Structure 1
């Protein structure tokens, strides 16, 4: 297990404590937990080191999520078949990792598997989506925040469907069980994405390489929300839009597609500026309420 930290506060301790009941470790063997820290100075990492619940890897600087995850995975023995990569602001429901490992046995072509992510109030977050395209991406970005049920957002997020185990275009990197051989084969997360869209890009490359991204909603993980994200909201918004452009521009690389790339860059630059001034726009499309889903 690899978790990436950057000023995580107390959330990382909650994450590590929730691992104990997340699987039958007598059957699977105790997990090796590596915390790849990108330069935290809030004292939280020192507290974790005292507990002995994880080995702390100091990356030497802020490498972003993908860079930190790559460093953490590289520190693990090559013989490990599966690696669980996750944010530090999560808690696992009892049996969540067990469900992911069991699903891996049912899907021999799975390169990555992801759980159902839940908000603190128990609502599912759309963590298994289709790959963004010009149509879905532009429609979702332009209309999602004012018209959450628009057809582009629904087609992209698939969050109005009844949750079931299925394939996906990509899975949220907030919690991702990856097949180590596939992760190494693909070179891990692309360092061109400092934050955001590194998971979209990885899911895309997993599919192109002939492997599957599998959504496992029977595995439940609650996303608490970290201190780092809250403290750096404006920077996060800007990074999200920069990464969106990098991802889309790489899909339209021909010379005759230059006007499209210019239009994408202009549109995302404008949206980024507007999102920094509008909490509603920055928040994106509202989540559909599913009262029947509960992590307790």
Structure 2
């Protein structure tokens, strides 16, 4: 079956399920949105409607920054030989804000041949007293930004480039988001929004960057936060502003130092910033500024040193991405648990790949025999124990297939510091796969769980992390995508934070497994891994995924398809409902590591057919903690 046909079948199945769950009207509305987005124009699709923007202006009509009730945000913008059309567009975007709580702080390092920059700014200053300006000597982007900060009087600061454009509701939305955090008693020291790229007009954006909520592992691999970032001026002063030695990656460095103070960050899923794509802009890639990579690696290495962690920082799989190779603490033992029922050819391929390729030496393998019926299977076990030193085979005493029960039983025989749940139909591809899984967990502040990159035999992606809510329940990030790509915003090329990973290859600290009570045995076949990960996540632990641990997964060879068997289909539906009952449908549909403006209908990170939250200018914000 080709990829398009697979996706079509999955979309049709989702339409049927949506009709059952929410009615024909909802399904038709979603379908109409899909057709509208695919077949008609995309003009101003990330902007609130004119009615919404007018309502925001009306709400604060006649108010000043001091009287409007919103915290003042001072925008820091260094100017340098800014082309007049770009400068006027940028200044207009500030002047036309729907709320008066902004201050624009401009530090102008333009040379003598570009004195028009000062003249244009003074023209705008005459109309708007919230624009402050200072002529400075050019000392680099960080020093120039610091000079702009010296003009700021707001309690909050934000960063904006001189050739970009602020969304008209940027100050209003960020001000309201800060108030929401305060009302909930949550940290309001650092916030960021989504952004979009454009070339000529923000009415015709090229693409949006729809980001996850704060994802510390992701931030160590690339500066996914970018724009619009807003933070307390007191924190800026405490960390000493931007560091000139990190010019080129000065914002990434700043964000890491601010988050060290705040303990996390808050995300506002609105497009509040438009990043212009042109020659020389980093929005088009770091090839335009090759010194960025060296600065980023310094920022990351310094962050590790400040937080008392050890590892080396290397280039990532793609330009502008990076990789922290954490030093593994101690020599943790890993117990690899492999359920098996017959299918000894699959098991042999799995075992052979582990023993031949794995470079991490401290592991044990426990095969959990589950109701095999072929006598040759038991003969195979005896021969395998002779060929694979230390191999254990334990027999699950219950009848039938229960993935949770089988692994919980196998755990009793495990002596490792970590447990690795592994299907019998996987094959190891790279020798340091287990080392890479451990690197994400076995260090100070490490994740409790880590998953791997799994490929189908045809070299398409089977698993690059689990996102709850896809298809209504859960799906795999970038499923069916061809091997070798970077994915959406580098999300299959960098270590990621997820709500869940597949139990086909899942490393977990044994102590965490025990603390949450192992796998829930009422999830016999489906969603046991999702439920387990969500319970671990909700206990305050992180779930990571790494592209550097690679395996091939011959999916469903062990059990075959369930959808054709009425009894199995009924069991699957019951487990779907149990997932909702335990974790809440709204929580399942609202994965913090997946932006609400991305589709739930497919697994390819494409833009949602329903952008009503953006059109309505809905102000929502969510703080997540965690050490980067």
TM-score, normalisation: structure 1: 0.72
Answering whether residue 526 of structure 2 is matched by residue 196 of structure 1, we say yes
Which position in structure 2 is the counterpart of 1:112?
Answer: 449
Q: Match for 1:93 among 425, 429, 435?
A: 429
Q: Match for 1:6 among 341, 365, 380?
A: 341
Which position in structure 1 is the counterpart of 2:572?
Answer: 240
Q: Match for 1:37 among 369, 375, 385?
A: 369
Answering whether residue 402 of structure 2 is matched by residue 64 of structure 1, we say yes
Which position in structure 2 is the counterpart of 1:222?
Answer: 552
Q: CA RMSD in A?
A: 2.6
Which position in structure 2 is the counterpart of 1:185?
Answer: 515
Counterpart Cα distance in 2 of 1:89 and 1:114: 16
Larger CA deviation: 15-24 vs 43-52: 43-52
Q: Which structure has the higher relative contact order (CA within 8 Å, separation 6+)?
A: 1
Which position in structure 1 is the counterpart of 2:498?
Answer: 168
1:179–1:226 Cα change, 3 Å: same
Answering whether residue 537 of structure 2 is matched by residue 207 of structure 1, we say yes
- CA offset at residue 51 of structure 1? 1.6
Q: Higher helix proportion, which one? A: 1
- CA offset at residue 202 of structure 1? 0.6
- CA offset at residue 63 of structure 1? 4.7
Secondary structure of 2:409's match? Answer: helix
- CA offset at residue 66 of structure 1? 1.1
Counterpart Cα distance in 2 of 1:237 and 1:92: 31
| 1:37-72, Cα deviation, whole Å (9 max, x unpaired) | 220112334313312133111112235111101111
Which position in structure 2 is the counterpart of 1:102?
Answer: 439
1:68–1:104 Cα change, 3 Å: same
1:93–1:107 Cα change, 3 Å: farther
Which position in structure 2 is the counterpart of 1:250?
Answer: 582
Counterpart Cα distance in 1 of 2:604 and 2:371: 33
1:24–1:157 Cα change, 3 Å: closer
Which position in structure 2 is the counterpart of 1:23?
Answer: 358
Counterpart Cα distance in 1 of 2:455 and 2:377: 24
1:117–1:107 Cα change, 3 Å: farther
Contact in 1 for aligned 2:419/2:508 (Cα 8 Å)? yes
Which runs of no fewer than 5 residues in structure 1 stay unpaired?
A: 142-152, 258-283, 289-296
Contact in 2 for aligned 1:7/1:40 (Cα 8 Å)? yes
Contact in 1 for aligned 2:462/2:476 (Cα 8 Å)? no
Which runs of no fewer than 5 residues in structure 2 stay unpaired?
A: 1-335, 479-486, 587-600, 606-628
1:227–1:46 Cα change, 3 Å: farther
Contact in 1 for aligned 2:407/2:421 (Cα 8 Å)? yes
Secondary structure of 2:355's match? Answer: coil
1:14–1:226 Cα change, 3 Å: farther
| 1:152-205, Cα deviation, whole Å (9 max, x unpaired) | x9xx64425231201101000001011000001011100110111000001100
Q: Report the count of equivalent residues.
A: 236
Contact in 1 for aligned 2:396/2:406 (Cα 8 Å)? yes
Counterpart Cα distance in 2 of 1:287 and 1:47: 41
Contact in 2 for aligned 1:10/1:44 (Cα 8 Å)? no
Counterpart Cα distance in 2 of 1:231 and 1:8: 16
- CA offset at residue 287 of structure 1? 7.3
Contact in 2 for aligned 1:8/1:226 (Cα 8 Å)? no
Counterpart Cα distance in 1 of 2:403 and 2:534: 18
- CA offset at residue 75 of structure 1? 1.2
- CA offset at residue 101 of structure 1? 1.9
Counterpart Cα distance in 1 of 2:377 and 2:602: 33
